[in-house]
Structure 1
Amino acid sequence: MGEVLTSVGIDIGTTTTQLIFSQLVLDDRAAMSSAPSVSVVEKRVIYRSRIHFTPLLSPTEIDARAVRRLVEEEYRLAGVDPREVNAGAVIITGDTARKENAQAVLESVEGMAGDFVVATAGSDLEAILAGKGSGAEALSRREGSTVANLDVGGGTTNVAVFREGHVVDTSCLNVGGRLVRLSQDGTVEHVSDLISPVLDHLGLRIRAGDRLEPKVAESICGRMASLCDELLGLVPRTSLLDRMLTSHDLKDPRRELDRITISGGVGDCIHQGVWDDPYRYGDLGVLLARAMMGTRMFALGKVVPPEETIRATVVGAGSHSMELSGSTIGFSHDGVFPLRNLPILRVSEAEEAHCLPQALRERLGWFMDSAGEQMRVALALKGLSNPSFEEVQRLAEEILEGLGDYPVRSGLLVLVVERDMGKALGYALSSRLPQDVRVVSVDGVRVENGDYVDIGRPLARGRVLPVVIKTLVFGA
């Protein structure tokens, strides 16, 4: 039996808030004569919370105190002490991320997820976590196929595409069941501005207090559902699609898809077959689920049941948000951990090979705060394959030449290397820097410019570090 970690996922979404607790088992599967190779060998969910409606003070403000009480109560019911939690994620997702006090809500649950916490609202990361939690990633890996997961929630539809188990594309639409909130008799209580392009397209004006007839609601949901077909390249695209994208389109909308899974609250309605009361949840979720059943993706027979629906994102956050570094890591002092929200400074392979010092000098200037001060960054490199001692030393010298006095001013130098050379490079850098400059060098992790990274406290007797890669922190 390897080392067992406790991980929590806390998902504060547009419609619902929920938690899960998981156990992650680490083990070293390397041969006795080989370098350590520690990995997560088992993941199991040990507690699923009730599904709570996200407490709101108003349509634009989350009730932070109520969220805190909710989380504390679920910890009590699970029998888990926050001090026992080693890893995990707190995420504010969907339209909730746009609420005025999203940051205050994250602060309200500070300390409820251990030292190693992700607090993010990025639609790309949310899409990836939901795709992992829904089982789309695993299905893609098992079959060697291309699988898209659509996580259709209250405020947004997050899309992640996996090919052979790897994320290759993400996108997000302002399509969700709770963009219009209603009473049980169909009286409109709130209309989100995000659905305005669809209403304009249909020539509709809907305001609080209006009675929404089922046929009108069905036309709204039908148009929202068809946007998912458009995004996936299954039907011709219209100009409305561009207006409903939250941030960016798929890089390759014509990519051939083998399978499609649908998770989220709307996905739960689809797979549970809940049709009896169109306004049973006080929104358009049931009707949107019904409309999704009539889309091209279903007609083509590409949709398959997911492993998780309404819990996909929180399962992804609690069981799949963490990666492990390679086992050849280096850090000069474990007191620097945990490190959170370090922006990635990555150079290309060509720059790494031919003009690394110059590229680093230029890129470092990108990372200045609003006061003009240099931000701490994590330097990302491809690294060298089976490097010699001399090659490692030369690479260390080029890095320090390019960074100038940044390591000394910062007091910390963090490297994220894709290839297996983190420990050697970390030692080479430490030997060239003053003793009070901390060096952290991890490997076996791939990141890109625009990503952020969290690095937690050492695990497996100091042989690996937990790493979470975040594509956006409070992104659009």
Structure 2
Amino acid sequence: MSTGHHADGAGRDHDHDDEPDVPLEQNPIWQQDNVTLHSVGVDIGSSGTQLAFSRLHLRRLSEDLTSRYVVVRRESLYESPVHLTPFGADLRIDAARLGALLDEAYAEARVTPEMIDTGAVILTGEALRRRNSEAIAEVVSERAGELVCATAGHHMEAMLSAYGSGAVRTSSREHSRLLNIDIGGGTTKLTLVEDGRIAGTAAFHVGGRLIAVAGGVVTRIEPGGHRHALRAGHDLALGSPVTGDQLDDVAALMAGELLGALAGRHTEGLWLTEPLLIPERLDGIVFSGGVAEYVYGTQTADFGDLGRRLGGELRRSAERALLPAPVLPAAERIRATVLGASQYTVQLSGITSHLDSAEGTLPRRNLPVARPAYVPGDTVDSAAMADTLRKHLDRFTQGDLAVALSWSGDPEYHRLRAFGEGIVKGLSPRLTAGERLYLVVDGDIARTLGRILRDELGVENDLLILDGLLLRDFDYVDLGRVRQPSGTVPVTIKSLLFNDMDASTAP
């Protein structure tokens, strides 16, 4: 019996007739249910800048009779070294040096911006200031990729770091309540995770690079670092002489303030967001960020700042059981945010989306999201739906807007028709103004709804309806180009676009 494969078919065994002629990945049916996206995460903070490139594999939940896609596998393709964020003497970002760092990382990863489908650029600490965020936006827009969203905000980074550190995965797997503490160069972010879901986030002024020194002289001091130094009894300023004992005092004070924040004691001027109430029962704490390397003992070198001292104080606090829960291992520490940004910022629209105006509506960046609170019952009340839409959308200015709608129940014609009538009545001012109509629904009704709006209700505006997505009020989304053969649209979701720091620290 012959066991070899013959190109002409001669001598082929009968049992091999049903073997595929092409790899599974080239099968159009398989491609429709399986989508691969390439993503980049860029983390630009007070102390460090780094990039991570990932490949995301998404699969349609066809066995659940849904068009929703979920991420089933993530592969890390390249992680850049952690570079000191390039600031000039006036604490303004050095755009040319930052651009060179991005170019170097793309070259090392053998990736071009055109190859990137999605991703996020996360700005934190000093990079959040308006004067720096605008310079970073220009650099990023030239290099990061057309569909990469530039995102800033303490809450966003807190969420991403909890994903990257493994806290969310551990909480989901063990059905536990965990607190992720991400300590970077300028801020500490808290993320409460319950049963794999983000339950709350917050940020305050404790960081490993609020003060930097060289040769016994202060070479950099941020407003938060100056306040901590004063509270520790030392009036430090740029160019001031400083001793190791003084830096020890500042680090010890910051560690004490972190412990106080966890215990509900709130120092005036400490918080950058609303404080986070930590519940009495915690199953564990996960540390991430650059200072976490010292907490876990994976780094011992001193980089001329407060990081080693602060991490050592927290490590000793954990050993003395002064934290509210035991410290658990972290999957990632200094790279938690950048890996979270490269892997957890994407959804994919369903295959039943309505895309007849894709040329006029895609791609689209920074599209605000409005989610009216109407949920259809057994009977869809088009008048009540229209009233809810009108009142909710009055909070938003005219212009392109993604309207996120809830759907429940069976997709019967009379219910879909009434749902469409509610949309037309509720959005009539925007339709009359000729605006493009972006609709996002969480049920698999987009294609049928699109036909009703077009063919029966006479909507002539450019119309895009995506389904299988979960969005919230005041999210921002970037919509990519239609991917074939799946007929899906990559959607990058983010919040708090280029928010300044609080007024007390803004220049």
TM above 0.5, yes or no, is: yes
Out of 32, 35, 44, which is 1:12 matched to?
Answer: 44
Q: Does residue 244 of the first structure (1) align with residue 266 of the second (2)?
A: no
- Secondary structure (helix, strand or coil) at the match of 1:331 reads coil
- Secondary structure (helix, strand or coil) at the match of 1:89 reads strand
Structure with higher Rg: it is 2
Q: Does residue 170 of the first structure (1) align with residue 201 of the second (2)?
A: yes
Question: Relative to structure 1, is the Cα distance of residues 49 and 236 closer, same or farther in structure 2, using a 3 angstrom cutoff?
Answer: closer
Alpha-carbon distance, 1:263 to partner: 0.8
Q: Does residue 399 of the first structure (1) align with residue 427 of the second (2)?
A: no
Name the aligned partner's letter for residue 387 of structure 2.
Q
Q: Equivalent pairs: percent with the same residue?
A: 32
Question: Relative to structure 1, is the Cα distance of residues 461 and 147 closer, same or farther in structure 2, using a 3 angstrom cutoff?
Answer: farther
Q: Please name the residue that 1:371 is paired with.
A: none
- Secondary structure (helix, strand or coil) at the match of 2:387 reads helix
- Secondary structure (helix, strand or coil) at the match of 2:483 reads coil
Name the aligned partner's letter for residue 71 of structure 1.
L
The 5 A counterparts of 1:100-115 are 100-115=131-146
Question: Relative to structure 1, is the Cα distance of residues 195 and 422 closer, same or farther in structure 2, using a 3 angstrom cutoff?
Answer: farther
Q: Does residue 45 of the first structure (1) align with residue 39 of the second (2)?
A: no
Indicate if the aligned counterparts of 2:376 and 2:407 stay in contact, CA closer than 8 A. no
Q: Please name the residue that 2:22 is paired with.
A: none
Indicate if the aligned counterparts of 1:188 and 1:208 stay in contact, CA closer than 8 A. yes
1:337 & 1:398 partners in 2: Cα distance? Answer: 25
Q: Which has the higher mean CA deviation after the structures are superposed, 16-25 or 206-215?
A: 206-215
Q: Does residue 386 of the first structure (1) align with residue 415 of the second (2)?
A: no
1:226 & 1:419 partners in 2: Cα distance? Answer: 49
2:280 & 2:394 partners in 1: Cα distance? Answer: 37
Alpha-carbon distance, 1:111 to partner: 4.4
- Secondary structure (helix, strand or coil) at the match of 2:331 reads coil
Report the number of matched residues.
460
Out of 295, 307, 317, which is 1:285 matched to?
Answer: 307
Alpha-carbon distance, 1:320 to partner: 1.5
The 5 A counterparts of 1:162-241 are 162-183=193-214, 185-232=215-262, 235-238=263-266, 240=267
Alpha-carbon distance, 1:120 to partner: 0.9
Indicate if the aligned counterparts of 2:149 and 2:478 stay in contact, CA closer than 8 A. yes
Indicate if the aligned counterparts of 2:289 and 2:333 stay in contact, CA closer than 8 A. yes
Indicate if the aligned counterparts of 2:345 and 2:494 stay in contact, CA closer than 8 A. no
Indicate if the aligned counterparts of 1:38 and 1:460 stay in contact, CA closer than 8 A. no
Alpha-carbon distance, 1:461 to partner: 2.2
Deviations 1:241-269 (A, max 9, x none): x521112222x432632121111111122
1:36 & 1:383 partners in 2: Cα distance? Answer: 14
Q: Does residue 457 of the first structure (1) align with residue 457 of the second (2)?
A: no
Alpha-carbon distance, 1:386 to partner: 2.5
> Tell me, which stretches of 5 or more residues in structure 1 are unaligned?
369-373
Q: Does residue 145 of the first structure (1) align with residue 173 of the second (2)?
A: no
Q: Which has the higher mean CA deviation after the structures are superposed, 16-25 or 216-225?
A: 216-225
2:449 & 2:372 partners in 1: Cα distance? Answer: 17
Q: Which has the higher mean CA deviation after the structures are superposed, 41-50 or 336-345?
A: 336-345
Alpha-carbon distance, 1:236 to partner: 4.3
Question: Relative to structure 1, is the Cα distance of residues 182 and 427 closer, same or farther in structure 2, using a 3 angstrom cutoff?
Answer: farther
Name the aligned partner's letter for residue 283 of structure 1.
D
Indicate if the aligned counterparts of 1:60 and 1:99 stay in contact, CA closer than 8 A. no
Question: Relative to structure 1, is the Cα distance of residues 100 and 439 closer, same or farther in structure 2, using a 3 angstrom cutoff?
Answer: same
Deviations 1:272-297 (A, max 9, x none): 3434x6xx212111111112224467
TM-score by length of 1: 0.89
Out of 426, 429, 444, which is 2:453 matched to?
Answer: 429
Question: Relative to structure 1, is the Cα distance of residues 388 and 88 closer, same or farther in structure 2, using a 3 angstrom cutoff?
Answer: same
- Secondary structure (helix, strand or coil) at the match of 1:262 reads strand
Name the aligned partner's letter for residue 358 of structure 2.
D
Name the aligned partner's letter for residue 248 of structure 1.
E
2:213 & 2:256 partners in 1: Cα distance? Answer: 22
Q: Which has the higher mean CA deviation after the structures are superposed, 381-390 or 166-175?
A: 381-390
Alpha-carbon distance, 1:11 to partner: 1.6
Question: Relative to structure 1, is the Cα distance of residues 5 and 469 closer, same or farther in structure 2, using a 3 angstrom cutoff?
Answer: closer
- Secondary structure (helix, strand or coil) at the match of 1:177 reads coil
Question: Relative to structure 1, is the Cα distance of residues 17 and 81 closer, same or farther in structure 2, using a 3 angstrom cutoff?
Answer: same
1:365 & 1:290 partners in 2: Cα distance? Answer: 52
Name the aligned partner's letter for residue 406 of structure 1.
R
Question: Relative to structure 1, is the Cα distance of residues 187 and 450 closer, same or farther in structure 2, using a 3 angstrom cutoff?
Answer: same
- Secondary structure (helix, strand or coil) at the match of 1:9 reads strand
Alpha-carbon distance, 1:220 to partner: 2.0
Alpha-carbon distance, 1:186 to partner: 3.3
Q: Does residue 74 of the first structure (1) align with residue 90 of the second (2)?
A: no
TM-score by length of 2: 0.84
User: How large is the Cα RMSD of the aligned pairs?
Assistant: 2.5
Alpha-carbon distance, 1:132 to partner: 0.9
Question: Relative to structure 1, is the Cα distance of residues 418 and 259 closer, same or farther in structure 2, using a 3 angstrom cutoff?
Answer: farther
2:108 & 2:246 partners in 1: Cα distance? Answer: 43
Alpha-carbon distance, 1:305 to partner: 1.7
Q: Please name the residue that 1:96 is paired with.
A: 127
Q: Please name the residue that 1:348 is paired with.
A: 373
Deviations 1:95-125 (A, max 9, x none): 3111513122222122433332110112111
Indicate if the aligned counterparts of 2:403 and 2:440 stay in contact, CA closer than 8 A. yes
